[in-house]
Every structure is written in C-alpha cells, then in structure tokens.
C-alpha cells in the first residue's frame, strides 16, 4: 500500500497537483491517516518490536502535554494502550475511505493536471474509460492482498516481532518500517526530540502551504 502511495505522491509532484489545493490537501490527509493506521497496526501484534516501537513513538509525543496519557491510558505502553489502538485501528480506515471519496470528488471537480502544464478541451470521460481502469487496478491489488494475507508469501515482519513482549529486554536495534524512514531520518538527525517533532510538523505544514 505504501509503495503505491509513494508512487502516487511522486506522480502528483510530477503532474503539479500542487496547483489543485483541495485535491492535494485531501491527499496529504489520507497519507497521514495511512501512516497513523499502519503504526497502530504495527503495535497490535504485541511483539518485541511492536512494544519498543510504540515506546519510542510515545516518548517522542511526550513533548505534547497530556497526549501520551490520553493515547495510552497511562504514562507507559500497556494493556489499555492496546485496547485503544485496536479501536483506532478499526475506525481510522473508514475515516480514510471517506476522505478518499472526497479526494476523488475534488479531482473530478477540477480535473487533472499534466506534466506539460497546458490545458485542453479534449477530455477523457470518467465513465466508462477511467472507471474500468480503476476497477481493474483495484481487483489486482485486492487479489495480491488476499494472497499475502492467507499465505504470507512475502515475509514483511521483523523477526524480533515474533518474540513475546519483554519489557526488561530491549532489542539490539530498533528500526522502523521502510515507509517511516523519511521521518526517522529527520528525528535521527536532530538531537532534541521536541525540535525533531516540530521540524516534522513544519515540513508537513510547508507541503500543505505550497499548494
């Protein structure tokens, strides 16, 4: 999912979707919801990497007053945290789906841009041309998703996540999933966690304001 999402973002930059602010901002909101949903889902297996990854992120968010207590149900990652994350992991995909429909509505309201930067009177109708392509692409992705879910042909999980949580043993190296690497690089570069968090928010804000 994130591989296709990053490809879609790169395509949007190439096609200058920044000049369609409603489509661009709604797309960024969808991306943010994907990030949050993926992180919460990563915590739910409750393995070693899940626990310590959640601990690192919640410690990072401790710069925001009362957020960790509200999110985790306490001052540390524990059983109430899992219950809250499970509820959020169920709700957020439906929120993202609603915004996807809004994103598509804005896209077809204003039309798409192109890498050449000019407009034309020759339009391709959404139905049946583009809708047929979208349905085919969705079916292909759905089939791959079902195969991966049922048979696990691609081992994506970190081996340490198969180990039961032990709060007294920290993994040798805590690394995020590959789709978190841009944010991880920022936080790793900045010594202060508060400054790193502010810079992450600043980059997101600049990305929105440039539209």
Q: What is the CATH number of the domain that holds 75?
A: 1.20.810.10
User: What is the number of structural domains in the chain?
Assistant: 1
- The four Cα atoms 159, 160, 164, 169 give a dihedral, to 10 degrees, of 160
* Residue 5 covered by a domain: no
* Residue 150 covered by a domain: yes
Distance (Å, rounded) from C-alpha 12 to C-alpha 52? 35
pTM: 0.83
Q: How would residue 157 be classed by pLDDT, with cut points 50, 70 and 90? A: confident
pLDDT for the residue numbered 153 = 67
Which comes out higher in pLDDT, residue 135 or 154? Answer: 135
* Residue 143 covered by a domain: yes
* Residue 47 covered by a domain: yes
Omega before 128 cis (within 30°)? yes
For 70-86, letters b (16+ CB in 10 Å) and e give: ebbbeeebeeebbeebe
* Residue 10 covered by a domain: no
Q: What is the pLDDT of residues 75-129, one digit of tens each?
A: 888 889 999 999 999 999 999 999 999 988 888 777 777 666 666 667 777 778 7
For the chain, give the mean pLDDT.
84
pLDDT for the residue numbered 114 = 67
Q: What is the mean pLDDT of residues 24-29?
A: 89
List the single range of 124-128, 142-146, 199-203 with lowest mean pLDDT: 124-128
* Residue 172 covered by a domain: yes
Q: What is the mean pLDDT of residues 54-73?
A: 85
* Residue 40 covered by a domain: yes
pLDDT above 90 as % of the chain: 17
Q: 162's torsion region: left (phi>0), alpha (psi -120 to 50) or beta? A: alpha
C-alpha distances out from residue 120 to 16, 111, 112, 114, 162, Å:
16, 11, 11, 10, 55
pLDDT for the residue numbered 120 = 66
Q: Note down the domain range covering 86.
A: 18-116+125-209
* Residue 192 covered by a domain: yes
Q: What is the mean pLDDT of residues 48-70?
A: 86
Q: How would residue 60 be classed by pLDDT, with cut points 50, 70 and 90? A: confident
């Amino acid at each position: 999912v994130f591989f296709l999402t990053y490809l879609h973002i790169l395509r949007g930059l190439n096609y200058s979707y920044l000049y369609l602010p409603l489509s661009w901002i709604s797309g960024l909101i969808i991306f943010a919801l994907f990030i949050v949903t993926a992180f919460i889902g990563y915590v739910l297996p409750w393995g070693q990497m899940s626990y310590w990854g959640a601990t690192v992120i919640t410690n990072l968010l401790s710069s925001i007053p009362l957020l960790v207590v509200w999110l985790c149900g306490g001052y540390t990652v524990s059983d109430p945290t899992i219950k809250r994350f499970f509820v959020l992991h169920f709700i957020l995909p439906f929120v993202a789906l609603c915004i996807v429909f809004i994103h598509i509505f804005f896209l077809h309201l204003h039309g798409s841009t192109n890498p050449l930067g000019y407009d034309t009177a020759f339009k391709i109708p959404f139905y049946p041309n583009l809708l047929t392509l979208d349905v085919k692409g969705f079916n292909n992705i759905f089939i791959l998703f079902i195969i991966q879910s049922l048979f696990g042909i691609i081992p994506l999980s970190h081996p340490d996540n198969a180990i039961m949580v032990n709060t007294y043993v920290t993994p040798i190296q805590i690394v995020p999933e590959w789709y978190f690497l841009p944010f991880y690089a920022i936080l790793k570069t900045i010594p202060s966690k508060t400054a790193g968090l502010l810079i992450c928010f600043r980059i997101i804000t600049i990305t929105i304001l440039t539209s």
